């Protein structure tokens, strides 16, 4: 990406670049998405930024018309540094954690993290978080009818007054100005009976039939539901419980989200996980280029394939252990049995069992070898001892868990884009008949894995 590409994409209003960069207009002090419908400014009057927080740091405020806060996310920070990547995820997912607490989780000092962010992203971590929270709050003000106090709580601010102060100081906007614009465009979406409704955008193409069918075959009974145009799941996130329904809306290149949650402070982290499970922040054109370089012809690529995520690495690990050496259908039956026997029920919702419930159960209802039952219990006990452990390679210390299980959990439970399951039997058989160089598909080999699975 360079200024010439930015200029061409901006002038063409190419939706494939939506969220990959932002256009700041010097004469107005506003920054926009490249697809903004406003009259295109002269090139000498614009500046380009890879991330919205960088435009905000430079003194620009987000456009009320194209709403940069609603753009798809970007992998602009990916690959720059593993520590930075993990820190960004923590900053976005857990607004209740201080930067100091995040540094403790990462095993580094505050000073080192600040230096990394400044060098790799161009902004301090506290500023990055503040701007991300402000954009999230702006999105809620546009799309929901939560009151200002609720929006402040949901986006990580101590009070409505603090949110108003930061909006005014950093965006030169007030909540009433944002709400007025939303009402004028008839974009405000009602919140009824505790249900929050939002739209989450993605970059086309998006192969919904592939993701839908993959999830449908593996859906956990009473925990997940998959219809022709929607996916729903009951979830836990920290102390919060709830469920969401994501309905595909291809005409607007987004998903319409209905979210029920019992803790507003967890909304930002939950939305991050919904985006991850549906793989909404993928840049498909870059992936297709890598697949072509790996040996696929243009016609052989199933465009828009996404990684069907699992809500947590723990759930993904349980699925992988229960699915060892049996068919997909048999594995799903076991996972559904586990959830329905041990999962917590709240009204009409069923939640996937916690590590504690699995570790403390004899699991006699599972009709499978005792060694695999013990592996599942040991796996749950590991999570009880190390509840915040994110380095999944440490699972290899558990008897009965091998590299394939770890790789599968990384790919679906953490949405790692560069997992190559070369030990998978289906992949091995596919490679016998295809001239594909997996190394040339990096850093998108998870998508290569799903491409090959889809062709079997």
Q: Distance (Å, rounded) from C-alpha 159 to C-alpha 162?
A: 5
Write the CB contacts of 291 (distance below 8 Å, at least 6 apart in sequence). Answer: 301, 441, 444, 447, 448, 451
Band (pLDDT 50/70/90 cuts) for residue 297 is: confident
Question: What is the SS3 assignment for 348?
Answer: coil
Q: What pLDDT does 1 receive?
A: 62
Asked whether residue 273 carries a pLDDT value surpassing 60, the answer given is yes
What fold, for 3-60?
DNA Methylphosphotriester Repair Domain (3.40.10)
Confidence of residue 368 (pLDDT cuts 50, 70, 90): very high
Instruction: Report which of 111, 104, 68 is spatially closest to residue 86, judged by C-alpha positions.
Output: 104
Burial 95-131 (b: 16+ CB within 10 A, else e): bebebeebbeebeeeeeebbebbeebbbbbbebbbbb
Q: Average pLDDT in the 286-310 region?
A: 91
User: Given this model, what pLDDT does residue 190 score?
Assistant: 45
What gap in Å lies between CA 320 and CA 297, rounded to an integer?
A: 32
Can you give the pLDDT at residue 186?
A: 46
Q: Angle 55-59-60 (CA atoms, 0-180°, nearest 5)? A: 55
pTM: 0.91
CATH of 82-184, one of 1.10.20.10, 3.40.50.12780, 1.10.3720.10, 1.10.10.60: 1.10.10.60
CA atoms lying within 13 Å on the CB side of residue 229: 9
pLDDT digits (tens, 9 = 90+) for 396-405: 999 999 999 9
pLDDT digits (tens, 9 = 90+) for 250-270: 999 999 999 999 999 999 999
Q: Which residue has the higher pLDDT, 12 or 340?
A: 340
pLDDT digits (tens, 9 = 90+) for 52-94: 999 999 999 999 999 999 999 876 555 567 888 889 888 988 8
Span of 46-50, 78-82, 309-313, 334-338 with lowest mean pLDDT:
78-82
**Position 373 pLDDT exceeds 90:** yes
pLDDT per residue as tens digits for the range 223-244 = 999 999 999 999 999 999 999 9
What's residue 95's pLDDT? Answer: 83
Do β-strands 195-201 and 254-261 pair in parallel, antiparallel, or remain unpaired?
Answer: antiparallel
Look at domain 313-414 and name its CATH class.
mainly alpha
Helix (H, G, I), strand (E, B) or coil at 146: coil
Lowest mean pLDDT among 38-42, 178-182, 288-292, 428-432: 178-182
Measure the CA angle with vertex 33, ends 28 and 35; round to 5°. 110
Locate all alpha helices (DSSP H) within 265-364, ordered by sequence: 267-277, 284-294, 313-322, 328-342, 355-359
Measured between alpha carbons, how far is 5 from 46 in angstroms, rounded to an integer?
14
Contact 236, 351 (CB under 8 A): yes
453 burial (CB, 10 Å; 0-12 / 13-18 / 19+) is middle
Query: CA–CA distance from 258 to each of 62, 262, 273 (Å)?
Result: 25, 14, 14
Q: How far apart are CA 431 and CA 67, in angstroms?
A: 44
C-alpha triplet 104, 109, 113: angle, nearest 5° = 100
pLDDT band at 448 (very low <50, low <70, confident <90, very high): very high
Q: Residue 225: in which H helix or E strand, if any?
A: strand 224-226
pLDDT of residue 79: 56
Q: Say yes or no: domain 195-281 is CATH 3.40.50.300.
A: no
Q: Mind listing the pLDDT tens digit for each residue in 135-163? A: 999 999 999 889 999 999 999 999 999 99
Average of per-residue pLDDT across 3-16? 86
* Average pLDDT, rounded, for the chain: 91
Domain ranges in the chain are 3-60, 82-184, 195-281, 287-307+415-456, 313-414
Q: Which two tokens stand for residue 105?
A: 């989780």
pLDDT of residue 76: 53
5 vs 171, residue with greater confidence: 171
CA distance 205 to 164: 37
pLDDT at 189 over 60: no
Angle at 257 between CA 251 and CA 261, to 5 degrees: 175
- Over residues 201-226, the pLDDT tens digits come to 999 999 999 999 999 999 999 999 99
Please compute the mean of the pLDDT values over residues 305-309 and round it to a whole number. Answer: 96
Mean pLDDT of 427-432: 90
407 within 8 A of 421, measured Cβ to Cβ: yes
- State the DSSP code for 326: S
């Amino acid at each position: 990406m360079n200024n010439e590409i930015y200029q061409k994409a901006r002038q063409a209003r190419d939706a494939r670049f939506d969220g990959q960069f932002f256009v700041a207009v010097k004469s107005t002090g506003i920054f926009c998405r490249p697809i903004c419908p406003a009259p295109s400014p002269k090139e000498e009057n614009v500046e380009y930024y890879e991330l919205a927080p960088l435009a905000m740091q430079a003194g620009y405020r987000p456009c009320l018309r194209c709403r940069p806060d609603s753009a798809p996310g970007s992998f602009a920070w990916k690959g720059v540094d593993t520590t930075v990547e993990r820190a960004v995820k923590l900053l976005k997912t857990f607004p209740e954690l201080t930067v100091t607490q995040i540094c403790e989780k990462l095993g580094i000092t505050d000073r080192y993290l600040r230096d990394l962010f400044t060098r790799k992203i161009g902004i301090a971590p506290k500023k990055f978080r503040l701007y991300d929270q402000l954009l999230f709050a702006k999105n809620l003000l546009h799309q929901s009818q939560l009151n200002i106090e609720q929006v402040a709580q949901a986006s990580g601010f101590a009070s409505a007054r603090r949110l108003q102060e930061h909006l005014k100081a950093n965006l030169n906007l007030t909540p009433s100005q944002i709400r007025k614009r939303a009402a004028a465009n008839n974009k405000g979406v009602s919140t009824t009976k505790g249900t929050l409704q939002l739209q989450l955008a993605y970059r086309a193409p998006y192969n919904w039939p592939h993701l839908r069918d993959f999830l449908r075959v593996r859906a956990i009974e009473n925990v997940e539901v998959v219809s022709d145009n929607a996916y729903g799941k009951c979830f836990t996130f920290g102390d919060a419980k709830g469920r969401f329904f994501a309905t595909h809306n291809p005409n607007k290149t987004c998903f319409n989200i209905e979210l029920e949650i019992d803790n507003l402070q967890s909304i930002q982290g939950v939305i991050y996980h919904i985006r991850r499970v549906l793989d909404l922040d993928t840049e498909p054109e870059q992936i297709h280029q890598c697949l072509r370089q790996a040996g696929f012809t243009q016609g052989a690529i199933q465009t828009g394939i996404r990684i069907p995520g699992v809500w947590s690495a723990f759930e993904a690990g349980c699925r992988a252990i229960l699915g060892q050496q049996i068919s997909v259908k048999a594995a799903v039956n076991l996972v559904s049995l586990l959830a329905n026997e041990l999962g917590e029920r709240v009204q009409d919702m069923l939640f996937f069992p916690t590590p504690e419930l699995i570790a403390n159960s004899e699991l006699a209802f599972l009709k499978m070898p005792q060694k695999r039952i013990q592996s599942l219990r040991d796996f749950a006990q590991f999570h009880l001892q190390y509840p915040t452990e994110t380095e999944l390679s440490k699972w290899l210390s558990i008897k009965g868990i091998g590299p394939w299980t770890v790789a599968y959990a990384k790919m679906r439970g953490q949405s790692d884009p560069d997992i190559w399951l070369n030990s998978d039997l289906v992949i091995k058989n596919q490679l016998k008949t295809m001239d594909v160089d997996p190394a040339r598909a990096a850093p998108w080999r998870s998508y290569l894995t799903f491409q090959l699975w889809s062709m079997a």
